[in-house]
């Protein structure tokens, strides 16, 4: 069984499923969305964070790195940055930094620890119609673990949502399906070629899995990160209405998530390129025309994903 690194459990969330929820992030994803808001959960293994504002430019990390992977402090105070290609992740720089400027993202919780943490807010879940959302990264990279985790929560009468790309085999989905109350699945773009060009894979498998879930009358909400220059055109949403209206069981609704660049800092901390650097936030008004197209197709829509109680 593949076991994910679980670094973070966010409490009191209201945009990723009904009610008040805890979000459990599994580390590792096989897609490569350039706008990803959780770049720290893209890679499967350990990552290093660099907090530039905590760095006093003492140069200790540069000295201890056996791979010469860290750039020297610049004459004008340029920070010591890690060359990811050279870094062997032996973490000597983290040990050497006495100022908390370097942090390991590895995995704080094992299964029992994550369950215990997730159950802390069960009273809030009960009073708000909330629960736990398993997210990432991609939970279905770990189908057996996700099934065990979800089943343990179901045994405690907790509502379980899984946020997945659905770019996986039907067999993997079937492994978890009986323990999941709600699937949150992105349809990033209806044009498969564009999907492939931006993300690295086409959308066929995703659409097929949504159809299969719908045939089984499983609850599915569609998420659409609206990204300038990628999917922010009316043809995309017209095609989406056509696809969704042919499903055997209707989806619960569509959440339009306007582009925002709040993850920009995380990319800097991880030392990876952010293709949307400096791009402004999208206002809710900019996505309203797309909401209208979906609503005319009989689909319930939110802008931002807050769906309230008891769905």
Secondary structure of residue 210 in the 3-state scheme? helix
Query: Closest distance between ligand SF4 and the C-beta of residue 95, in Å?
Result: 8
Secondary structure of residue 14 in the 3-state scheme? coil
Task: Output the CA angle 183-215-296, nearest 5 degrees.
Answer: 75
Q: Toward ligand SF4, which CB reaches closer, 57 or 219?
A: 57
Query: Closest distance between ligand SF4 and the C-beta of residue 18, in Å?
Result: 41
| Best CA proximity match to 122, nearest among 20, 24, 23, 17 | 20
Q: Which of 31, 58, 263, 272 binds ligand SF4 (CB under 6 A)?
A: 58
Query: Closest distance between ligand SF4 and the C-beta of residue 220, in Å?
Result: 41
Q: Toward ligand SF4, which CB reaches closer, 90 or 233?
A: 90
Q: Under rule CB under 6 A, which residues in 188-227 are in contact with ligand SF4?
A: none
Q: Toward ligand SF4, which CB reaches closer, 57 or 218?
A: 57
Which range of residues in 14-22, 26-34, 53-61, 293-301 is near ligand SF4 by CB under 6 A?
53-61
**Per the structure block, which two tokens stand in for 237?**
């949403």
Task: Output the CA angle 180-185-186, nearest 5 degrees.
Answer: 165
Q: Toward ligand SF4, which CB reaches closer, 97 or 147?
A: 97
Which range of residues in 65-73, 108-116, 123-131, 178-186 is near ligand SF4 by CB under 6 A?
65-73
E strand residue ranges, the chain: 6-13, 21-26, 47-50, 102-105, 131-136, 159-164, 182-186, 220-226, 253-258, 301-303
Q: Toward ligand SF4, which CB reaches closer, 70 or 184?
A: 70
Binding mask 74-113 for ligand SF4 (x = CB under 6 A): ------x-x----xxxxxxx--xx-x-xx-----------
Buried b (16+ CB within 10 A) or exposed e, 245-259: eeeeeebbbbbbbbb
Q: Residue 270 interacts with ligand SF4 (CB under 6 A)?
A: no
For residue 61, the tally of other CB atoms under 10 A from its CB is 23
Q: Residue 70 interacts with ligand SF4 (CB under 6 A)?
A: yes
Query: Closest distance between ligand SF4 and the C-beta of residue 177, in Å?
Result: 40
**Cβ(101)–Cβ(51) below 8 Å:** yes
| Best CA proximity match to 221, nearest among 127, 307, 109, 101 | 307
Q: Which of 6, 55, 150, 176 binds ligand SF4 (CB under 6 A)?
A: 55
Residues that bind ligand SF4 (CB under 6 A): 55-61, 65, 67, 69-70, 80, 82, 87-93, 96-97, 99, 101-102
């Amino acid at each position: 069984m593949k076991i994910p690194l679980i670094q973070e459990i966010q409490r009191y969330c209201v945009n990723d499923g009904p009610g008040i929820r805890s979000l459990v992030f599994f580390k590792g994803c096989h897609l490569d969305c350039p706008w990803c808001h959780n770049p720290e959960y893209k890679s499967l293994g350990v990552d290093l964070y660099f907090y530039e504002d905590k760095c006093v430019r003492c140069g200790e990390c540069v000295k201890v790195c056996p791979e010469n992977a860290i750039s020297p402090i610049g004459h004008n105070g340029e920070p010591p940055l890690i060359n990811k290609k050279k870094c062997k992740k032996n973490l000597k720089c983290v040990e050497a930094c006495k100022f908390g400027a370097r942090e390991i993202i590895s995995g704080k919780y094992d299964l029992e620890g994550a369950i215990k943490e997730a159950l802390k807010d069960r009273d809030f879940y009960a009073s708000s119609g909330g629960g736990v959302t398993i997210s990432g990264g991609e939970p279905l990279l770990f189908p057996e673990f996700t099934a065990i985790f979800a089943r343990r929560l179901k045994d405690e009468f907790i509502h379980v949502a899984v946020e997945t790309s659905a770019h996986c085999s039907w067999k993997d989905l079937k492994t978890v399906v009986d323990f999941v109350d709600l699937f949150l699945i992105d349809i990033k773009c209806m044009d498969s070629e564009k999907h492939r060009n931006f993300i690295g894979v086409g959308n066929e498998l995703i659409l097929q899995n949504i159809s299969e879930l719908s045939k089984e009358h499983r609850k599915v909400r569609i998420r659409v990160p609206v990204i300038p220059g990628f999917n922010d055109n009316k043809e995309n949403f017209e095609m989406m209405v056509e696809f969704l209206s042919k499903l055997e069981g209707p989806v619960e609704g569509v959440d339009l998530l306007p582009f925002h660049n709040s993850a920009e800092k995380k990319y800097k901390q991880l030392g990876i390129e952010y293709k949307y650097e400096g791009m402004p936030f999208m206002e809710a008004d900019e996505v309203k025309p797309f909401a209208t197209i979906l609503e005319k197709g009989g689909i319930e829509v939110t802008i931002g994903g807050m769906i309230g109680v008891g769905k």
